[in-house]
Structure 1
Amino acid sequence: MTIRTLILVLATAALAAGSATAWSQQSRSGERATQTTQERQMERMQSREHMKSAEQMQQRDQERLQAQEKAQEKTQEKEQDRLASSDSDREQLQERDRDQLQERDRDRIHQDDIFGGQMMTEQERTRYQERMQSATSEEERARIRAEHRDQMRQRAKERGIDLEEPGGDQ
């Protein structure tokens, strides 16, 4: 009995050892399967997050492009406004220049019509013209003209200017 018992004990031990090994392998395989499943789930989550972040990056890029386009449009509008205002400013300046040229031309006409007119102020020219118009006779106009010529010759002499006789009767 001892041999039999011994064999039985050894057989039982061998079976137990084999079962333990099998159970250990099975449990490792289950762990691996569980670990593999967890790893797959993690990979899927990472893939989803990566896709989400890629979509988010794409969306951010689109938003940046839209913001840049809006900024360019605003810049273009400002440039157009500036050009439009500079056009109106330019038109105003041109109109002012035309007015100044007309005034200068009128002054030249008056200066050219009056002996020594280039040395006279606008008030002096106006006063001289009024005197000439209010004169009642040709003799009075001639006397006013002679006085005026003497005054302008004296003024020209003081300023060192040579006066030419005007083409008209003034």
Structure 2
Amino acid sequence: MKTLMTVAALAAAGLTTLSLLPAQAQSSASAQPDRERVATTVAQKEMRKCFRSDDIDRFNPVDSRTMIVETYGRQNYKLELSGACMGIEDAFRIGIRTRAGALNVCGGFDAEVLYSEPGSGRLARCHITDVKAITKEEADRIEGVTPKTAENRDREGT
């Protein structure tokens, strides 16, 4: 009788294991569309990473190596600049010049930032080494904007 119980227990355990295999295989099959959806989402984010140089509403040099750009569509981008762009934080005129007549700025060395150096007015340039699409909240945090300041800015429409 003891042997019969052991065999029955092993058989039950075996059936349980066998019944789990199709569920695991099914789980792997359903994970495939999830991976494709994630890949599509990543591709969409990569596309949003670009902005047009003629669609810039606002420049904000945070420091000599970082600039936040906001487009007319209210999308924010964090630009990393090559070297130290001395005096860019105090520049009155800032612009972006793309290479080879292209309009899109998508990544490193697609464009350069031009600005007039404070005091001398001499034209200076810094290459854009990285472009990253960021949320408005991320832009505010990088720029050091407090929630209250952001609320006032939004109310005024600037």
Task: Calculate the TM-score normalised by the size of structure 1.
Answer: 0.34
Taking CA–CA contacts closer than 8 Å with sequence separation of 6 or more, which of the two structures ends up with the larger relative contact order? 2
Higher strand share: 2
- TM-score, with normalisation over the residues of structure 2? 0.36
Task: Say which structure is richer in helix.
Answer: 1
Larger Rg: 1
